């Protein structure tokens, strides 16, 4: 009687297979759900045409300039009708200041194009905001921001793109679903005290790299480099932007031993951020794992801080992957965080009742 094979009692077995059925059906539904929200080829073509047109116009002011996409248009996390984030890089040494460029470009675009133009030369990061009204060929119009010399944003876009490439199905499905979910549940607005899309993407990557065991993704910023790297090549404005970006090579050498389905990961994501993440003391860092607010000087100590503002800034802490002194969640207010955590809990509750997959998705994303 030494090695009796373990056989689950029938009741447990039924339970396990019911769970399997639920997560398989939900994974399939999640995948189908995000696929129909991807941008159409026409939309991508129109956007690329817009980028080229704008680049041509900018070159009449700064001949040595390039206009590059960043954000969701460039990292594989774009949904239908998402905004365009563009960044102008100027390769000449003598160039106009960002705020002068914003003013000049604003005037030029006003004269030469049909866009509604709003130059913001005095913003923390000076940008020109553009929009195009809906038309039959472009039912949702276009919204676009043009910034200048934002090289860190180009690099963090490339980092997120590389993470998406390692495990496209699971990573993209999770991220795209959470973007839709957070928008429909109205917790995706830094202006209203909640979190940007960029913040949610970092939460997903953090979860897949540092919370899941075995991890779904490796830590691209901590892998050993294959060739020597020089400081000049990897630093931008004093920030180390190096990461392992040879994804073909990586996929030859590394494979996650985590085989969970998208649905299992999503259920666990909601559970982790509703129950386990230490909002009061922790900082989510995709570079270094869980850090302490204290060690970064990001305390949220109500008694010792005289400044309402600085206190308010660190309720929820997500370290930017490269600009490590920047808290990506700094706009999240007390009420915003309450709302966000409430939504994580609500989602967990819905999924715990194991409804049919389509019912689950429509309840989760109910507006």
Chain contacts with ligand CTP (rule: CB under 6 A): 70-72, 77-78, 82-83, 85, 153, 156-157, 179, 196-198, 328
Q: Which residues bind Mg ion (CB under 5 A)?
A: 71-72, 83, 85
Least gap, CB of 3 to Mg ion (angstroms):
58
Give every strand in the sheet of 282-285, ordered side by side. 289-292, 282-285, 318-319
* CA gap 284, 205 in Å, rounded: 10
Residue 185 binds which entry of Mg ion, ligand CTP, none, CB below 5-8 Å type-dependent: none
Least gap, CB of 328 to ligand CTP (angstroms):
5
- Of 137, 131, 107, 106, residue with least CA distance to 119: 106
Residue 261 binds which entry of ligand CTP, Mg ion, none, CB below 5-8 Å type-dependent: none
Token match 């404005």: residue?
237
- Of 275, 277, 316, residue with least CA distance to 298: 316
Residue 196 binds which entry of Mg ion, ligand CTP, none, CB below 5-8 Å type-dependent: ligand CTP
- Of 97, 135, 156, residue with least CA distance to 287: 156
Residue 314 binds which entry of Mg ion, ligand CTP, none, CB below 5-8 Å type-dependent: none
Residue 70 binds which entry of Mg ion, ligand CTP, none, CB below 5-8 Å type-dependent: ligand CTP
* CA gap 317, 184 in Å, rounded: 23
Nearer to ligand CTP by Cβ, of 145 and 167: the residue is 145
Nearer to ligand CTP by Cβ, of 69 and 261: the residue is 69
Per DSSP, the residues of 72-91 read: HHHHS-PPTTPPEEEEEEE-
Is there a contact between 29 and 356 (Cβ–Cβ < 8 Å)? Answer: no
Nearer to ligand CTP by Cβ, of 267 and 317: the residue is 317
Nearer to ligand CTP by Cβ, of 196 and 348: the residue is 196
Nearer to Mg ion by Cβ, of 188 and 327: the residue is 188
């Amino acid at each position: 009687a030494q090695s009796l094979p373990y056989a689950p009692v029938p009741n447990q077995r039924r339970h396990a297979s019911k769970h399997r059925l639920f997560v398989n059906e939900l994974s399939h539904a999640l995948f189908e759900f995000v696929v129909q929200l991807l941008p159409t080829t026409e939309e991508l073509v129109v956007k690329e045409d817009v980028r080229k047109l704008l680049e041509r116009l900018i070159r009449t002011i700064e001949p040595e300039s390039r206009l590059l996409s960043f954000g969701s248009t460039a990292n594989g996390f774009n949904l239908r009708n998402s905004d365009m984030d563009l960044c102008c890089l100027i390769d000449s040494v003598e160039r106009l200041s960002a705020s002068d460029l914003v003013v000049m470009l604003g005037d030029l675009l006003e004269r030469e194009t049909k866009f509604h133009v709003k130059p913001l030369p005095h913003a923390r990061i000076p940008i020109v905001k553009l929009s195009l009204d809906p038309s039959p060929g472009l039912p949702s119009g276009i919204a676009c921001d043009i910034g200048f010399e934002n090289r860190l944003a180009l690099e963090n876009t490339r980092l997120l793109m590389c993470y998406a490439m390692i495990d496209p199905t699971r990573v993209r499905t999770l991220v795209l679903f959470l973007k839709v979910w957070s928008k429909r549940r109205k917790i995706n607005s830094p202006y209203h005290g909640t979190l940007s899309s960029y913040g949610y993407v970092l939460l997903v990557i953090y979860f897949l790299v540092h919370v899941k065991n075995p991890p779904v993704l490796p830590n691209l910023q901590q892998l050993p480099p294959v060739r020597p790297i020089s400081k000049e090549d990897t630093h931008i404005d004093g920030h180390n932007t190096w990461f392992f970006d040879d994804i073909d090579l990586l996929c030859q050498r590394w494979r996650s031993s985590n085989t969970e389905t998208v649905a299992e990961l999503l259920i666990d994501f909601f559970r982790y951020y509703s129950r386990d993440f230490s909002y009061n003391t922790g900082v989510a860092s995709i570079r270094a794992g869980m850090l302490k607010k204290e060690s970064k000087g990001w305390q949220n100590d109500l008694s010792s801080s005289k400044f309402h503002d600085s206190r308010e800034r660190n309720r929820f802490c997500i370290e930017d992957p490269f600009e490590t002194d920047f808290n990506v969640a700094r706009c999240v207010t007390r009420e915003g965080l309450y709302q966000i955590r409430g939504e994580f809990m609500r989602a967990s509750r819905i999924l715990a009742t194991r409804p049919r997959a389509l019912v689950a998705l429509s309840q989760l994303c109910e507006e």
